[in-house]
Structure 1
Amino acid sequence: MASQAPLSIQIVTEISRLEGVEPFELPPLEDCVDTESLDTLFGSSDAPFHAGSVSFHYAGYEVTVSHTGEFEIA
């Protein structure tokens, strides 16, 4: 069974798809949010939260990540 990409990678990949560019062409996500904490706190089924979310701006988008690891890009 293949493992799922870290949440931070999924977010960059989706925004690069929306922008029509390669992921490396976007600014570093680390400039906007602590990616290690994001992946640890929101990116797995073992996440310690039962409710809540975090929002941040990245590459001209507002990204909201829920406690379930799902994210919205607006």
Structure 2
Amino acid sequence: MAPQDPLSIRLVTEISRLEGVEPFELPPLEDYIDTESLDNLFGRPDTPFYEGEVRFRYAGYDVTVTHAGEFDIS
């Protein structure tokens, strides 16, 4: 997983690592959140947002993504 990978890819990769499965074995992230919007709003270094976060549930995890493109999985 490289820092230049889209946020949505990094997120699925991290959850697959936690689960001990391949990313394709997880449900499609697109079924839970608009990944294009997630990547565009929170996954770019030139984002216009200075504050904010989005929270959603995916694959049994609570996910919080911050305006800085960082995420917390619990």
The TM-score bracket by the shorter chain reads over 0.9
Indicate how the Cα distance of structure 1 residues 56 and 3 shifts in structure 2: closer, same or farther if over 3 A, else same: closer
1:50 and 2:50 correspond: yes
Deviation at 1:46, TM superposition (A): 1.0
- Name stretches of at least 5 consecutive residues in structure 2 with no aligned partner: none
Aligned residues, how many?
A: 73
The runs of at least 4 consecutive aligned structure 1 residues that moved more than 6 Å come to: none
Which whole-Å CA distance do the structure 1 matches of 2:32 and 2:48 have between them? Answer: 22
Q: TM-score, normalised by structure 2?
A: 0.95
- Name stretches of at least 5 consecutive residues in structure 1 with no aligned partner: none
| Residue identity matched to 1:70 | E
- Structure 1 partner of 2:18: 18
Q: Percent identity?
A: 73
Deviation at 1:3, TM superposition (A): 6.5
| Residue identity matched to 2:10 | Q
Indicate how the Cα distance of structure 1 residues 3 and 53 shifts in structure 2: closer, same or farther if over 3 A, else same: closer
Q: TM-score, normalised by structure 1?
A: 0.95
Indicate how the Cα distance of structure 1 residues 18 and 3 shifts in structure 2: closer, same or farther if over 3 A, else same: closer
RMSD, aligned α-carbons? 1.2
